[in-house]
């Protein structure tokens, strides 16, 4: 027998060794037989997978240990993760069914673009949360049938926060209400404090909850109290003076006050639509983008105007129409309404912000104390095909309502509020006559430090008194001699 035959027999012996799960020889025979029977086109590519399958079918070892059971906390976390993923997929799903007719949506704010502008001003919620809010707004618009929708802002609370969305619907026709009646306490939809409707959510995947209409009595009462939100719409408002409602009504009243004061627009962007059936309706000026104010003008208070109705001391934006109420009210009531209107006239729409707190403006100051303006980013001006362009971001911050910001970049601008829903008087000077803080402000959380007091005058140093020495000195005095001695 030659050397080659001996080596071949050794190879055959090694191939036939059975370690408990079959021999390599039998495995190769089964592999060749299976390939011959199935005759796959890509046999070379399937050799590894087929070999593994044959090994698993012939395995006679001990079974693998059972998988460990998850704890209660782990199961809850896994279920919550699956629920979160399903909710997020619903947000990403297109609002229209591809097999049905396309759904017509109103004008929905592209918050991702506005968030990039606010980020330059140091305001925002992060990219992930901003994308989540943008998708959530799109779903809300699809479910509600709104004309327009935007993110109004975020109201912070002690136990939770409120994301607030602002939308518009067709104005509702409503009969003229008698002064003092319950209907007169609520302005019709599309007018004054109820020019827009609002929804709130706690964030995450919680549903949007529509807030009620603002009432004039709630707005008046909110001006006299200082209360932080708790994050629960059904919670009570414990305050002095008493507030006639819960946190849901207080939140709606504060939104109306902030909107009236802090909703801005560049000068020349809007105009009052005199033909609209609803009073104080704004419309975009034709060619407003081409006539947009320059960056230099936007960096001053003169380039901005208020784009929301002003609220009077009554909590509403206008006085009752005496002519429309003719025959329904007495002459004395009509004269009283006219007298009140003369003492506190209605403010026109699109009034410039340079008139805000003008009576408190110091004599040496050029601008009013109600707004702070700052530029961010590249302030260079570059030539373009249509003229000049700039990447500058200009942000206006309210000194009366901390957290209200208006930002503009190019011809795109947006308003946002992120705060506690309270005024702050520490950044606005006191009243000139009384020296007291501005009425209705909230110095509980000041945004500016108080003035540093002067150093006290050092006291004059004296030697420490010694009673023993003082008595010895007093005993040395001269005594008067008695003349009889």
pLDDT tens digit sequence for 197-248: 999 999 888 899 999 999 999 999 998 888 899 999 999 999 888 999 999 9
Would you list the domain boundaries of the chain? 107-419
Work out the pLDDT band at 440, boundaries 50, 70, 90: low
Q: pLDDT at position 45, please?
A: 81
**Contact by Cβ (8 Å): 193, 311:** yes
pTM over 0.85: no
Point out which residues pair with 151 in neighbouring strands.
165
Judged against a pLDDT cut of 70, whether residue 6 lies above it is answered with no
Q: pLDDT at position 225, please?
A: 85
Q: Which of 45-59, 144-158, 264-278, 391-405 has the lowest mean pLDDT?
A: 45-59
Cis peptide, bond prior to residue 79, ω within 30 of zero: no
Nearest CA-CA partner of 350 in 269, 412, 234, 288: 269
Phi, psi of 264 (to 5 degrees): -115, 160
**Which of 66-80, 257-271, 280-294 has the largest mean confidence?**
257-271
Structure-model confidence comparison of residues 480 and 406, the more confident one = 406
Nearest CA-CA partner of 251 in 268, 273, 227: 227
**Contact by Cβ (8 Å): 132, 395:** no
Q: Which of 30-34, 211-215, 225-229, 461-465 has the lowest mean pLDDT?
A: 461-465
């Amino acid at each position: 027998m030659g050397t080659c035959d001996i080596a071949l027999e050794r190879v055959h012996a090694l191939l036939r060794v059975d370690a408990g799960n079959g021999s390599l020889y039998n495995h190769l025979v089964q592999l060749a037989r299976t390939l011959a029977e199935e005759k796959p086109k890509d046999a070379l590519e399937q050799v590894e997978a087929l070999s593994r399958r044959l090994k698993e079918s012939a395995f006679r070892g001990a079974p693998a240990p059972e998988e460990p059971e998850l704890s209660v906390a782990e199961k809850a976390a896994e279920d919550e993760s699956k629920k979160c993923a399903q909710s997020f997929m619903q947000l990403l799903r297109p609002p229209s069914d591809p097999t049905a007719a396309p759904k017509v949506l109103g004008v929905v704010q592209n918050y991702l673009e506005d968030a990039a502008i606010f980020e330059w001003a140091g305001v925002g919620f992060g990219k992930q949360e901003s994308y989540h809010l943008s998708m959530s707004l799109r779903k809300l618009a699809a479910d509600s049938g709104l004309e327009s929708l935007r993110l109004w802002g975020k109201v912070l609370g002690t136990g939770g926060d409120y994301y607030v969305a602002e939308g518009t619907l067709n104005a509702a026709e409503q009969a003229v209400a008698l002064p003092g009646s319950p209907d007169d306490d609520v302005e019709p939809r599309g007018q004054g404090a109820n020019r827009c409707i609002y929804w709130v959510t706690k964030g995450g995947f919680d549903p949007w909850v529509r807030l009620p209409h603002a009432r004039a009595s709630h707005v008046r009462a909110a001006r006299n109290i200082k209360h932080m939100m708790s994050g629960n719409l059904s919670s009570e408002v414990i305050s002095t003076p008493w507030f006639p409602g819960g946190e849901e009504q207080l939140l709606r009243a504060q939104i109306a006050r902030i909107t009236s004061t802090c909703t801005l627009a560049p000068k020349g962007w809007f105009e009052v639509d005199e033909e609209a059936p609803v009073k104080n309706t704004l419309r975009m000026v034709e060619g407003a983008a081409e006539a947009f104010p320059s960056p230099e003008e936007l960096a001053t208070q003169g380039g901005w105007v208020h784009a929301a109705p002003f609220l009077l001391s009554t909590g509403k934006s206008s006085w009752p129409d005496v002519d429309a109420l003719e025959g329904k009210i007495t002459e004395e009531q009509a004269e009283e309404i006219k007298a009140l209107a003369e003492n506190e006239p209605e403010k026109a729409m699109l009034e410039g912000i340079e008139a805000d707190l003008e009576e408190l403006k110091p004599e040496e100051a050029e601008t009013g104390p109600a707004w702070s303006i700052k530029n961010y980013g590249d302030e260079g001006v570059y030539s373009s095909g249509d003229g000049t362009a700039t990447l500058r971001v200009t942000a206006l911050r309210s000194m009366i309502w901390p957290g209200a910001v208006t930002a503009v970049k190019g011809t795109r601008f947006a308003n946002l509020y992120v705060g506690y829903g309270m005024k702050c008087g520490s950044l606005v000077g006191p009243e000139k006559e009384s020296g007291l803080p501005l009425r209705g402000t909230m110095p509980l959380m000041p945004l500016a430090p108080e003035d540093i007091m002067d150093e006290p005058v050092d006291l004059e140093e004296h030697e420490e008194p010694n009673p023993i020495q003082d008595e010895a000195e007093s005993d040395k005095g001269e005594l008067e001699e008695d003349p009889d001695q």
